[in-house]
Structure 1
Amino acid sequence: MKIIDSHVHLVQYIAGTGSGGELRSIGNGDAIYASGEIVPQMIPPMFGGEQVTPEQILAIMDENEVEKAVLLQGNYYGFQNIYTHEAVKRYPDRFAGAASYDPYSRNKDKICKHLFEELGFGIVKFEVSTGSGLMSNHHTLPLDGELMEEAYSYADDKGLVFVIDIGKCGSESWQVEALRRAILNHPNMKFVVCHLLAVSTKDVDKLKWGLELLKLPNVWFDLAALPHICGPDAYPYENARRSVQIGKEIVGADRMMFGTDIPSVLKKDTYKNYVNFLMESDVLTEQEKQMVFYDTANKVFF
């Protein structure tokens, strides 16, 4: 079965920001926030410690029979826009790339023009989480407010796919109702919500509630990092399988897309296991697996 990984990160340099301030490499794949908090194995040893290159990602993809991948951005590693653009330009048959920007930037009009009109990115990614997203180093903002509406409207006008990570359930950024209102204002734009709403197993009712609200014809969900969001658990990740079952029952298998969130998750398990926890499960039929692993992402991103 052909596979598309809908949630992958390249890292030219660790240049992140988060609630702990700037995040920078201290060698061997580890990084440290300005607060002194250390993030161990931010880049797992298999990558050599300092970068995650397109060629390294392609090697993992080839080893696991993954045809294509979507390269996303986030504050955690720091925006990698030019590096991502170069990777897509070099391997256009294997990668689709998303660009990111800070909507508080004074020159955001110039930034957007360069990224989406000159470089030609067709996907925009916003992580708004309180841990390492927009709300980690800015004030809490409404997802249906004026600042975000500017971002939605620009993306809608340019025909972009809008990928959004609203952070973990329970955080100030987890604004499902506000996101619903924003999406309803842009019925012709594709929205992808990361991590199946990032709800742990102890909040199943909130997962059901959130999915019901976002059960809209222009909304899809990636399943990246779900085995660990639904943890603590171990392969074959029965907790994550149950969340996928809920997603299937509420929004449908055709609204979900396989994704891993590599590289960071590879410090916890193998890529093969992130594939097989669903591929070898009876949660999805063979036809549904075809949609989750390939067809839907191909339609949405490629």
Structure 2
Amino acid sequence: MRKIDAHLHLAKVIAGYCARGESRAAGNGKVAWANGDSYQLIPEGWGDESFLAETALGLMDENGVEKAVLMQGSLYGFQNEYYREVLRKHPDRFCPTVSVDPSMANHMEVLERFFRDEGFRAAKFEVSSGGGLMGANPSFVLSDHMMEIFQLIEDYKGTVALDIGDFMMDSHQPASIVRIARRCPDLKIVVCHLCAPHRDLHDEWAAELRMMKQGNIWFDISSIPKIMAPDVYPYPDAAVFLKEAKGIIGAERLLWGTDAPYAATQDSYGHLADYLMKNGAFTDDELATVYYNNADEVYF
């Protein structure tokens, strides 16, 4: 089964910033935040204070993963320059994303550089109130505040990935996603983590998927095993939500991804890579679509 990991993080230097203040590597794969929080961000053995492309490639090769999309995230800090290096060294294995803080004075200049000069095809914005932009900035209406960004990405025929957090957050704005999709019909939009399904808010989650069923919106299913805790491998609870999502938006709108390294602190990369082949959520033809074809179309 050919695979593209549509949601993978690398970090050469951990320097995050969000609601908990700044983050720094604390050794042995742990991260420490300014508010005193500390936890395992990188699985033991993957990297003491970083998670690099060479380590990721080893894991990918062991598990039959041909390519990966490199996401940005506030847990790790922006990795724009490192991702530029990775793209130059491994152009056939990785599709890196660029990210900026839209409150930064010259954010459009930075985006323009990476799309125009550095060969990037995608951007990622973690806007979640918990670990993203709205945790470090006043809440804003996503479709209005960042429209010039989305239009620039559309001009370059690119893709934008958006993590809008969960139902309890101001950043959870599915209606904004729909407005963006309609205003930028040539922009490819990926909503991360399947909109963070919640067992107690099942009907609301299903209604959001129906609302966001648009021709230029896809959903990655990264971190669904982690979100569905205490579900365990091969994640039968996750399979229930995945089957329902398939019924609403179709398998052709779903992209497999792991959200490693953080998600791999709960289970192995191997399990995150093969659980879909064991829990019955998809047919063999659908697995080929979810594991590879959709991500190849959207990102590569």
TM-score range, shorter chain: over 0.9
Cα deviation for residue 12 of structure 1 reads 0.4
2:81 aligned partner: 82
Contact 2:236 2:279 in 1 (8 A): no
Cα deviation for residue 281 of structure 1 reads 2.6
Using the TM superposition, name which of 48-57 and 272-281 deviates more: 272-281
Q: Deviations over 1:43-84 (max 9, x none)?
A: 221213211111100000000011111111111100001111
Following the alignment from structure 1 to structure 2, what is the Cα–Cα distance between the partners of residues 168 and 49?
30
2:159 aligned partner: 161
Q: Deviations over 1:136-195 (max 9, x none)?
A: 1000000122x2112111111222111111011221110111221121111111101100
1:13 corresponds to 2:13: yes
Contact 1:3 1:293 in 2 (8 A): yes
Following the alignment from structure 1 to structure 2, what is the Cα–Cα distance between the partners of residues 270 and 36?
27
Cα deviation for residue 278 of structure 1 reads 0.8
* Residue 170 of structure 1, aligned match among 168, 171, 191: 168
* Residue 201 of structure 1, aligned match among 199, 202, 217: 199
What secondary structure is seen at the aligned counterpart in 2 of 1:11? coil
Contact 1:199 1:206 in 2 (8 A): no
Q: Deviations over 1:280-299 (max 9, x none)?
A: 23221111001000111111
Contact 1:2 1:67 in 2 (8 A): yes
Q: Deviations over 1:194-247 (max 9, x none)?
A: 000012222211220110011001111101000111222111211211111111
2:221 aligned partner: 223
Letter aligned with residue 130 of structure 1: S
> Percent of counterpart pairs with the same letter?
39
Contact 2:228 2:238 in 1 (8 A): yes
What secondary structure is seen at the aligned counterpart in 2 of 1:50? coil
Contact 1:211 1:250 in 2 (8 A): yes
1:62 corresponds to 2:61: yes
Distance verdict in 2 for CA 1:161–1:301, change over 3 Å? same
Following the alignment from structure 1 to structure 2, what is the Cα–Cα distance between the partners of residues 269 and 37?
22
Segments of structure 1 that go 5 or more residues without pairing to the other structure are none
Contact 2:99 2:124 in 1 (8 A): yes
Cα deviation for residue 35 of structure 1 reads 1.3
Normalising by structure 2, report the TM-score.
0.97
Following the alignment from structure 1 to structure 2, what is the Cα–Cα distance between the partners of residues 243 and 68?
26
Q: Deviations over 1:19-43 (max 9, x none)?
A: 01111122222222111122x1112
Contact 2:210 2:249 in 1 (8 A): yes
1:33 aligned partner: 33
Q: Deviations over 1:115-152 (max 9, x none)?
A: 2212121101111001111101000000122x211211
Letter aligned with residue 174 of structure 1: H
1:124 aligned partner: 123
1:134 aligned partner: 133
2:180 aligned partner: 182
Following the alignment from structure 1 to structure 2, what is the Cα–Cα distance between the partners of residues 234 and 58?
26
Following the alignment from structure 2 to structure 1, what is the Cα–Cα distance between the partners of residues 79 and 47?
18
Following the alignment from structure 1 to structure 2, what is the Cα–Cα distance between the partners of residues 272 and 182?
35
Following the alignment from structure 2 to structure 1, what is the Cα–Cα distance between the partners of residues 141 and 208?
17
Following the alignment from structure 1 to structure 2, what is the Cα–Cα distance between the partners of residues 33 and 58?
28
1:280 aligned partner: 278
Following the alignment from structure 1 to structure 2, what is the Cα–Cα distance between the partners of residues 112 and 87?
18
Normalising by structure 1, report the TM-score.
0.97
- The count of residues paired between Structure 1 and Structure 2 equals 300
